[in-house]
């Protein structure tokens, strides 16, 4: 267990960050799942920029790696473009 004042503060801060990162990550995963479930190209095209923005924010915050963010966005864009045809 933490014995120093600064270490106790760091434990509190990391717990707060972990909860925040879990919230953002879960919210984004839900948005991705909802986007993949859409069957019409027009509706998916409208949702894609918002989901891509959420993915970019996760990468910027360090919750996910930038390459994973790029792969997710690429996969979603391919799916939306296929629906548009």
Query: Is the pLDDT reported for residue 2 higher than 80?
Result: no
pTM over 0.75: yes
pLDDT (mean) for 48-73 = 97
The answer to whether the CB of 58 falls within 8 A of the CB of 20 is no
69-75 long-range contacts (CB < 8 A, ≥24 apart) are 72/32
How many independent structural domains does the chain possess? 1
Query: Is the pLDDT reported for residue 53 higher than 90?
Result: yes
Over the stretch 18-44, which tens digit does the pLDDT of each residue have? Answer: 999 999 999 999 999 999 999 998 999
pLDDT (mean) for 49-54 = 97
What is residue 40's three-state secondary structure? coil
- 16 lies in which domain range? 5-84
Considering Cα of 76, then 81, then 36, then 32, what sign does the dihedral take? positive
pLDDT attached to residue 85 = 82
Report CA 1 to chain centroid distance, whole Å: 32
Give the CATH number of the domain where residue 23 resides: 1.20.58.110
């Amino acid at each position: 267990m933490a014995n120093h004042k600064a270490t106790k503060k760091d434990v509190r801060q990391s717990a707060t960050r972990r909860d925040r990162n879990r919230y953002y990550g879960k919210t984004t995963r839900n948005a991705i799942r909802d986007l993949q479930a859409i069957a019409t190209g027009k509706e998916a095209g409208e949702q894609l920029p918002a989901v891509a923005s959420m993915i970019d924010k996760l990468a910027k915050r360090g919750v996910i790696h930038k390459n994973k963010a790029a792969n997710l966005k690429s996969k979603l864009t391919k799916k939306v473009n296929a629906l548009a045809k």
